[in-house]
Structure 1
């Protein structure tokens, strides 16, 4: 009777983690998840562009497609020197146009409409509040010189002076004033008598409270404040400018280092006297001098010049040319050292924060292009993080969206540079918390939606996701972005011919589904998910390619346009990442059965096994085998795996017989599941596969030995197979495996005991020689003592972990096996 019971126990295959203890539903789910394995793969590497260009060789932007150049020449003549006259001193001819006055006037005599001067000029001396200036007795001009209008500096907390107006004058001296406001009367502080050849005395300066007009005394004696400013100019600024002008004219042999020191000295002086920005009265002369120095063609000096120009708040064409100048310097890696100990990076970030794409779009482009180059330098990369480059990038992204159609092209060019910069920043570990805190990953999803047709932008963002999704905090932030899975599927469908984009999006989806059961379900439930993935699979299957075809091939499939030829390695890289997504998705207990019944999916996997060889596509075949192993867990009646298991078993032969240990391991796992079928067990024995399985026990690899024990457990269900396995030395190798690896892996120890239990037929057969039996009893006696089994583990938490596996996986089957070996019919 006991013998019959033992035979009945052997008649069913042993599954890993089986226990005589009754399990809860939570334990059963946990068991299922651990049997299904998440696949991992290498992250696609971002190629390093050997030449620093706005758009690399892989860019889809054509040279003639409004693409800004990376190479250009800049000279002093390219810059505008505002408020300056030609160096020769030649007077320019007056412009032939009629001025427009802010109020109606007589067409015949425009000056009749102006207020009349006071009858008594001495009223000015008496300090009358409403006195008016005398009209100059000199000859009148046929044209009116413009009043200087200060540019909009609202981002620097200065009020807008309003639109510029033109005032009548009879002198060639330019009148500089704050915004003109028409009115019936003007106070004495708003008007001065203008004498021929004498400065009017109206000079605009900026104080901390806002715009004001500095007045000169009537006898042309400067005020105390103006006197101090003039003193600083004459003593500190003018001498430096004189030396720089001499060098620019070629009349000096000063070294570059000396000229750089002069620029630094000038910058420091202007900072001390609060004359940076647009406060400096003689700003035009400073700029003219700096622009002329550019022709000396020194990268180090030009960077100092650019820093000073940006500090003086150049705008318009000058801002663009300065950004181009910095960009030009940054194109050479040898110049990176000049940026490390220089505040130029702060000024560039300030430009990105304050300038608008509608007025300074091209300047922003070259500014971000510079940061892209510099972020490739590890030392400068850390500086960019410290200076809040990621925060500035977020602000710029907000500024660029939504974008007007008229600025869409330049916005796209800027985003190419910005996303490439962010990709470089993502390489630094300290950047990850910043990407999360500034919600950059979600912001980039919005960029993808706006620019889904721009392959350059999409590729750069896919590189960012590919890098950051490997880390938990970034992966969680991306997974919480609404609609990201559907967006990725649409991009895969739209750009399926662009391999570098496709492979990175698939890698990102593989990362998202690797650890999150919710992500697996959300991806599967996206509209058209399996259709898009399988269409992509079909495109890269290479049905018409011979095993060792190189890059030259054509694909007649309508789902893949004949763009650029793909290499075998590139095709395989896409399929490796795609199959990994499928393997991870089917871990979900609701998604797995649906995939197991998807005929198109299973046929594509089997076709890959048939078309590829381990020599050319090792990682791909390993991932395919792992996916089939996961799908074989679901043994529903309508499972395609179940109905094709014999065909799959034949395809696994090439993996078992290969040189690759990874391929053999995955094939052994598949055999462990499929060998529950009598047909598959017969196939294994007929094709001598059991010999390879027994040999794997010598690998001393816990994973390899565990998988081999599973196959032997199932093969030993059939009595005829036990003799064959015993002749191959399976029993002795199982005992050695239990002794050597058991204390470190109690799940493996339990599986080895179950294989031995089936080998001896549950005690009905004596296939162990006396020496093997005694050795096995000695091992079991030691391992069944808890203190002896766990004595080598010192860490208490680790001890609890091993104790749980020891009690659940090893103890029940080991006790049963020991009791059977001690039975009288086996000891005699």
Structure 2
């Protein structure tokens, strides 16, 4: 009990005084909220559900509902062999095409060597003619792969005469083959015979590009700084050793490179690549530093991304170094690779590599060095969630793991990570609105993104950013599209459970047109998934704690109260069933444990309590016998010493419902059962439980049958004793119940017998100037008590009567009553507040009580008038 009191209670202070520094307007607001709760209705407060401790860093936690085939693995082998750098002409296609069965005959050319057309004569881009009706004829522009290899192999040995003899007339039906130097189309992969593949399928920038027939479409820039200093791009030209890997570039033929570009590469880039290769064998730690030097050089010359003609050569060289046994070097190599804006399989492998490194929290400091986080942000922005979904899963998965580090969180927020995630959400929402189906891969991306945002939401500066980029609204739309995805709904509910601790975020969520429907749908879909239910219920409790419109809108949402009752019934049955058995408790991040079933009940009951504050909703819930029955079962089956928060929340809900004295009230019908359930709380060694129970007594004692029942249990005597507690709220509640007891004439003597008059005078003296409402209650008790007064001294006691009269005269004097000189800081708003409560609440009843005391002050009987006078 002593530990309980220390944890729950703080030193007594006036109800209007804040904890810590705040403005006077906040003081007034809290005071008015306190006064509102004293009338019988109060919003229930509860702690936020704790996130379970995750011992391992993985894409999907141990509690994930995804099957292995529907999610990428968190563990995998990865090395240089997983990066594509050997084949620069053919991309990796996810769909393998079946070989063509047609095998054209070359009998007409059996004695002649083919001659390919010259570069000037060739017409790139011509569509092939229809296949010949005669399979023995060779179609124009069509050569089998075997024949092509044969003719290419003898290129260097064919004389000019032989070449002229190889020309055949178009009229003979055979193919005219010219210019052996012209690259030819492969039988199974001609780029112009098929529609061009998307960028992701072409594998641009990763050394696996689809060859093009229009080299003029490529646009490869030379280094801007070095080019200007060397007099532009003119001069002697040479052929580069590899095709451009830029967007739209031609990897099927060699790109022309200026002398300046070749010189820059040979003098600056090539030596660094050689040093990197040497360091990978002798000094892996040195490799990371040289990789940083190369990155800085290319960044300075604006040769990152797709601006470098030697991009493929550099990537090939870097890929070979990825087997190095040094995490720091691997991360810097991955940063360099990603900075080239790779796509396809290489993008996936690079993101996997970064994810693998991020799984070990010991590597977190390495992500704070250099531009690693910036490159990850660029990858997030530049990766299409539809064509490169798996790569994006690992990229954002890395960010999710890194957001477990508070220092990295601050850096990511500064780098607009929240805004970039919001853009991703908007992109997916827009595509779905346009008719696309929500896919498992999109769900996997969103699980990682929302998990990262969940961690980012903890930072103090995140709230403004979340509101500014409308991330809250985007998450509501995601709920509508992915309601069945339990992992995703859990992450979103975790985000909302954090941000709705603040009024501005609560307002934004409450104002969203579909938020209530979305949350009801989640509860219906996942009502047996406790970790989702507890958080969604917590969010709804936050939304309805201070927002009157939210209470009404939630209650009016179709099926909302039915699902709350369904949840209440299911988890109450589970709780009763588990009693007496050892229940497995969940370990939270702070090391504490929580009973998940009990936690759900706490949050669901809180929503009901907050809904019942609304004057239209409250009477309806109050008349629901099923709801009241469940509440009483909680009180009857649970002990406050073991389940304090659950019991206190339940009593607070009963208190709110007992406020409505309607004919159909289930509380009134079951009032004896209610009283019996509350009596054990009054007798428990828990002051807060006693106060909450007395709040209910204050509402129920409006009926004489209740007053009689409580008098038999000697509750009236206990209430008089509580006037000595010194706790403002305890005294207030006791006074509220005693007012009702003093209505019955036969119950009034107990007040004087238990020295209640003297105690009330002391309460008036101690609390009046800082709590005029409490002072008003004291006067009301004394007014009801003295209803049959004949003598003030007989009624109150001679000394008590005198002290009371003098005190009332002092408190009714404006200058004396409103003197706030004892307070350190008083502004005009606070002064007006005290004057208002003194004038409207205290003075009317105090003046009448004083007049009654003065009128009945004398004990002398009037003398008879002498006869004849």
- With the shorter chain as reference, the TM-score category is 0.7 to 0.9
Q: What are the within-5 Å matches in structure 2 for residues 657-696 of structure 1?
A: 657-696=683-722
**2:516 paired residue number:** 485
**1:170 paired residue number:** none
Match of 2:545 among 514, 522, 542: 514
Q: Mark the runs of 5 or more structure 2 residues left unpaired by the alignment.
A: 1-31, 90-98, 105-115, 117-123, 130-136, 144-159, 161-176, 220-236, 586-592, 861-869
Match of 1:246 among 269, 272, 278: 278
**1:380 paired residue number:** 408
Give the CA deviation at 1:824: 4.0
- Farther-moved stretch of structure 1 (763-772 vs 146-155): 146-155
In structure 1, C-alpha distance between the alignment counterparts of 2:183 and 2:631, rounded to whole Å: 92
**2:843 paired residue number:** 811
**2:63 paired residue number:** 58
**1:273 paired residue number:** 301
CA contact (8 A) 2:438 2:482 kept: no
Q: What are the within-5 Å matches in structure 2 for residues 313-392 of structure 1?
A: 313-392=341-420
CA contact (8 A) 2:612 2:656 kept: yes
In structure 2, C-alpha distance between the alignment counterparts of 1:733 and 1:424, rounded to whole Å: 53
CA contact (8 A) 1:376 1:424 kept: yes
Give the CA deviation at 1:773: 2.3
CA distance 1:137–1:362, shift in 2 (3 Å): closer
Q: What are the within-5 Å matches in structure 2 for residues 531-610 of structure 1?
A: 531-542=562-573, 544-545=576-577, 547-551=579-583, 569-610=595-636
**2:501 paired residue number:** 470
CA deviations 1:371-422 (Å, max 9, x no partner) are 1011111111111111111221122123334458887111111111111111
Q: Secondary structure of the equivalent of 2:388?
A: helix
In structure 2, C-alpha distance between the alignment counterparts of 1:506 and 1:140, rounded to whole Å: 67
**2:92 paired residue number:** none
**1:724 paired residue number:** 750
In structure 2, C-alpha distance between the alignment counterparts of 1:227 and 1:433, rounded to whole Å: 53
Q: What are the within-5 Å matches in structure 2 for residues 763-778 of structure 1?
A: 763-764=789-790, 766-778=794-806
**1:40 paired residue number:** 45
Match of 2:679 among 628, 643, 653: 653
Q: Secondary structure of the equivalent of 1:65?
A: helix
CA contact (8 A) 1:83 1:284 kept: no
In structure 1, C-alpha distance between the alignment counterparts of 2:243 and 2:200, rounded to whole Å: 15
CA deviations 1:88-107 (Å, max 9, x no partner) are xxxxxxx9999998444782
Give the CA deviation at 1:370: 0.4
CA deviations 1:528-585 (Å, max 9, x no partner) are 22222111111111374375443279xxxxxxxxxxxxx9932221122112111111
Q: Does 1:164 align with 2:237?
A: no
Give the CA deviation at 1:636: 1.9
In structure 1, C-alpha distance between the alignment counterparts of 2:191 and 2:549, rounded to whole Å: 67
**1:820 paired residue number:** 852
CA contact (8 A) 2:212 2:250 kept: no
Q: Secondary structure of the equivalent of 2:595?
A: helix
In structure 1, C-alpha distance between the alignment counterparts of 2:562 and 2:340, rounded to whole Å: 58
CA deviations 1:649-676 (Å, max 9, x no partner) are 2221011111222211111111111111
CA distance 1:356–1:773, shift in 2 (3 Å): same
- Farther-moved stretch of structure 1 (313-322 vs 523-532): 523-532
Q: What are the within-5 Å matches in structure 2 for residues 386-425 of structure 1?
A: 386-401=414-429, 402=431, 408-425=439-456
Task: Provide TM-score, normalisation by structure 1.
Answer: 0.79
In structure 2, C-alpha distance between the alignment counterparts of 1:41 and 1:379, rounded to whole Å: 29
CA contact (8 A) 2:490 2:531 kept: yes
CA contact (8 A) 2:399 2:452 kept: yes
In structure 1, C-alpha distance between the alignment counterparts of 2:858 and 2:456, rounded to whole Å: 69
- Farther-moved stretch of structure 1 (495-504 vs 225-234): 225-234
CA distance 1:42–1:165, shift in 2 (3 Å): closer
Give the CA deviation at 1:153: 9.6
CA deviations 1:455-490 (Å, max 9, x no partner) are 111111111111111211111111111122122122
Give the CA deviation at 1:335: 0.8
Q: Mark the runs of 5 or more structure 1 residues left unpaired by the alignment.
A: 1-26, 86-94, 113-118, 120-133, 168-175, 181-197, 554-566
In structure 1, C-alpha distance between the alignment counterparts of 2:766 and 2:734, rounded to whole Å: 15
Q: Secondary structure of the equivalent of 2:387?
A: helix
Q: Secondary structure of the equivalent of 1:755?
A: helix
Give the CA deviation at 1:359: 2.5
Give the CA deviation at 1:746: 0.5
**1:296 paired residue number:** 324
In structure 2, C-alpha distance between the alignment counterparts of 1:104 and 1:216, rounded to whole Å: 24
**2:828 paired residue number:** 796
**1:8 paired residue number:** none
CA distance 1:544–1:577, shift in 2 (3 Å): closer
In structure 1, C-alpha distance between the alignment counterparts of 2:377 and 2:650, rounded to whole Å: 48
Give the CA deviation at 1:722: 1.8
Match of 1:107 among 135, 138, 155: 138
CA distance 1:227–1:771, shift in 2 (3 Å): same
Q: Does 1:634 align with 2:660?
A: yes
Q: Secondary structure of the equivalent of 2:684?
A: coil
Match of 2:73 among 62, 69, 78: 69
In structure 1, C-alpha distance between the alignment counterparts of 2:598 and 2:427, rounded to whole Å: 40
Match of 1:427 among 451, 458, 473: 458
**2:22 paired residue number:** none
CA contact (8 A) 1:346 1:387 kept: yes
CA distance 1:421–1:719, shift in 2 (3 Å): same
CA deviations 1:623-651 (Å, max 9, x no partner) are 22222222222212222222222332222
Q: What are the within-5 Å matches in structure 2 for residues 698-737 of structure 1?
A: 698-737=724-763
Match of 1:745 among 752, 771, 777: 771
CA contact (8 A) 1:33 1:587 kept: no
In structure 1, C-alpha distance between the alignment counterparts of 2:638 and 2:42, rounded to whole Å: 23
CA deviations 1:42-64 (Å, max 9, x no partner) are 111222312111111221223x3
CA contact (8 A) 1:576 1:620 kept: yes
CA contact (8 A) 1:205 1:279 kept: no
